[in-house]
Structure 1
Amino acid sequence: MATIAEAQPQRMLKVEQAAARAQLGRTRMYELIKTGEIQSVKIGRSRRIPVEALDAYVARLVDEQCQAVA
């Protein structure tokens, strides 16, 4: 039987989780956060990436590449 937390989709990811989801390395993900290409939030000493921020980054990449080809 699933708990309430397991039944709800994750809204924020750890840096390592976001990197894995985007098929990037942990170091590259931290670089993207540092440059502001991916938004993140700090909760205490932990850094989290909203799923929407990761989706927005991917959408921007697709848009930029589509415009470069056109």
Structure 2
Amino acid sequence: METAGTPNFEALPQRHLYRIPEAMKLLSMSRSVIYEQIRAGRLLTVKQGRARLVPLQAINEYVELLMREAGECIDQAA
């Protein structure tokens, strides 16, 4: 069940590749932010025909990158 502000991850089946709207839900980011991260090379994608897809591995690596950056900010503040 989805409550206000809480995404329903059960609605998205776990796969190897996600379309941009699905990646938006998984990462809780807007479409423009997703594309900014793709252009910056921080979120990797692949193309299948005309569709741009985000591999699950790329989503996991992006989250790890954010966690490392957050850790560096905490270390620098201390």
- TM-score normalised according to structure 2 size: 0.75
SS across alignment from 2:43:
coil
CA distance in structure 2 between the partners assigned to 1:64 and 1:12 by the alignment: 25
Query: What is the rounded CA distance, in whole Å, between the counterparts of 1:35 and 1:60 in structure 2?
Result: 13
Structure of greater relative contact order (alpha carbons < 8 Å, 6+ residues apart): 1
From 42, 53, 58, the counterpart of 2:58: 53
Q: CA RMSD in A?
A: 1.3
Aligned length: 63
Which blocks of at least 5 consecutive residues in structure 2 are unaligned? 1-12
What TM-score does the superposition give when structure 1 sets the normalisation length? 0.82
Q: Structure 1 vs Structure 2: percent identity of aligned residues?
A: 27
- Structure 1: where are the runs of 5+ without partners? 1-7
Query: Which runs of at least 4 in structure 1 moved beyond 2 Å after TM superposition?
Result: none
Residues 4-58 of structure 1 deviation map (CA, whole Å, 9 limit, x = unaligned): xxxx830000011001110001111111111111000011100000011011011
